[in-house]
């Protein structure tokens, strides 16, 4: 999702640094940005020159130290508490004291991320939806220590990016994934229990509920590892067995069938 966020920020006019651990991941991200902007050029919503200047505002790096002058950081690393707290600790060392450190986490506690820094007042959740250039929502999550100033800054930035910011408290899965993931999990249970085929489950939800994607297709789009990680956060954080991940989801993740990004999930790509 980091590339989508970088694209939207650069399109708004910001100078962006896209940081990742490996150059190949950065190249993949830049390729996705190029492809996404090209859609708009093809549809004559953007000129070729505008596309090039947007891309020109995005610098990429594999060194987190290059964020030393960043005024605002949006972290979008893997959905793993250990990895995220380590990154927040490092960002706290690298960036100026006044820099806001936002997380695009889909379920992890903002208070915990804040506690990994010496500036929990500047730590906040800024949860974008995929595909970021298309989806209007930013779910804004205040941790127990997040200041009013940080919150106002994030709301203002979200609006500048052309998004609608909606507030939510720091509770496992926030609102989006507390509601979405049980639906996806239930669809996986329906497949597991042979209630219907994958096409039928998705078709019923698309045609019957007017969802743009069926839940299994959406799970592949989100990433099955991400879905499992979110369900585990809900299960552990809320202590309710209704959030127990379907064994079929676990089996697919164990097999490395993670959805679109690996070429196989509930569907083949
Ligand atoms: N970049 C830019 N534009 C894109 C794009 C991308 N990556 N993907 C699609 N679009 C644009 C297309 O250009 C097209 O624009 P116009 O209608 O203005 O011409 C529009 O989106 C529709 O695209 P398509 O016609 O190609 O395909 P579609 O109608 O099937 O829509 C979709 C694709 C927007 C992804 C739609 O299927 C959808 O809304 N799916 C559900 C997405 C969703 O639920 N996202 C949230 C996931 S949960 C999450 O992200 C958070 C989490 O924590 C797990």
| Tens of each residue's pLDDT in the chain, 269 residues | 999 999 999 999 999 999 999 999 999 999 999 999 999 999 999 999 999 999 999 999 999 999 999 999 999 999 899 999 999 999 999 999 999 999 999 989 999 999 999 999 999 999 999 999 999 999 999 999 999 999 999 999 999 999 999 999 999 999 999 999 999 999 999 999 999 999 999 999 999 999 999 999 999 999 999 999 999 999 999 999 999 999 999 999 999 999 999 999 999 99
**Ligand 1: residue whose CA is nearest its atom 1:** 36
Q: Which of 32, 51, 131 to mutate to test the pocket of ligand 1 (most atoms within 8 A of CB)?
A: 131
The confidence score (pLDDT) of residue 247 equals 98
Would residue 106 show up in a list of annotated catalytic residues for this protein?
yes
The confidence score (pLDDT) of residue 218 equals 98
Of the listed 103, 107, 177, 185, which one is catalytic?
Answer: 177
The confidence score (pLDDT) of residue 249 equals 98
The set of protein residues with a Cβ atom below 6 angstroms from ligand 1 is 36, 39, 43, 106, 129-131, 133-135, 176-177, 212-213, 218, 222
Ligand 1 centroid to residue 98 C-alpha, Å: 35
User: Three-state secondary structure along the chain?
Assistant: CHHHHHHHHHHHCCCEEEECCCHHHHHHHHHHHHHHHHHHHHCCCCCHHHHHHHHHCEEEECCHHHHCCCCEEEECCCCCHHHHHHHHHHHHHHCCCCCEEEECCCCCCHHHHHHCCCCHHHEEEEEECCCCCCCCEEEEEECCCCCHHHHHHHHHHHHHCCCEEEEEECCCCCCHHHHHHHHHHHHHHHHHCCCCCHHHHHHHHHHHHCCCCCHHHHHHHHCHHHHHHHHHHHHHHHCCHHHCCCHHHHHHHHCCCCEHHHCECCCEC
Would residue 199 show up in a list of annotated catalytic residues for this protein?
no
Would residue 211 show up in a list of annotated catalytic residues for this protein?
no
Would residue 53 show up in a list of annotated catalytic residues for this protein?
no
Of the listed 75, 79, 139, 217, which one is catalytic?
Answer: 139
**Ligand 1: residue whose CA is nearest its atom 14:** 134
The confidence score (pLDDT) of residue 200 equals 98
Ligand 1 centroid to residue 15 C-alpha, Å: 25
Q: How far apart are CA 173 and CA 230, in angstroms?
A: 7
Atom of ligand 1 nearest to the CA of 129: 50
Of the listed 60, 104, 109, 127, which one is catalytic?
Answer: 127
């Amino acid at each position: 999702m980091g590339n989508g966020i970088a694209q939207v920020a650069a399109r708004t006019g910001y100078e962006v640094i896209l940081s990742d651990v490996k150059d190949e991941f950065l190249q993949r991200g830049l390729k996705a940005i190029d492809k996404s902007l090209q859609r708009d050029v093809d549809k004559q919503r953007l000129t070729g020159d505008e596309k090039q200047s947007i891309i020109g505002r995005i610098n990429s790096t594999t060194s987190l130290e290059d964020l030393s002058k960043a005024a605002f950081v949006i972290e979008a690393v893997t959905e793993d508490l250990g990895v995220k707290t380590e990154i927040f600790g490092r960002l706290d060392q690298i960036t100026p004291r006044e820099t806001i450190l936002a997380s695009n986490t889909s379920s992890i506690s903002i208070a915990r991320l804040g506690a990994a820094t010496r500036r929990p007042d500047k730590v906040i959740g800024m949860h974008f939806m995929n595909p970021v250039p298309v989806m209007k929502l930013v779910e804004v999550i205040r941790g127990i220590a997040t200041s009013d100033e940080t919150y106002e800054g994030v709301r203002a930035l979200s609006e500048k990016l052309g998004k609608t910011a909606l507030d939510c408290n720091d509770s496992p899965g926030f609102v989006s994934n507390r509601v979405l993931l049980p639906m996806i999990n239930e669809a996986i249970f329906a497949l597991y229990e042979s209630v219907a085929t994958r096409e039928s489950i998705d078709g019923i939800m698309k045609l019957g509920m007017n969802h743009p994607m069926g839940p299994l297709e959406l799970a592949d789009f989100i990433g099955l590892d991400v879905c499992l990680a979110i369900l585990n956060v809900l299960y552990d954080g809320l202590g309710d067995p209704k959030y127990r991940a379907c064994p079929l989801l676990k089996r697919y993740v164990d097999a490395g069938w993670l959805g679109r990004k690996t070429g196989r999930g509930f569907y083949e790509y």
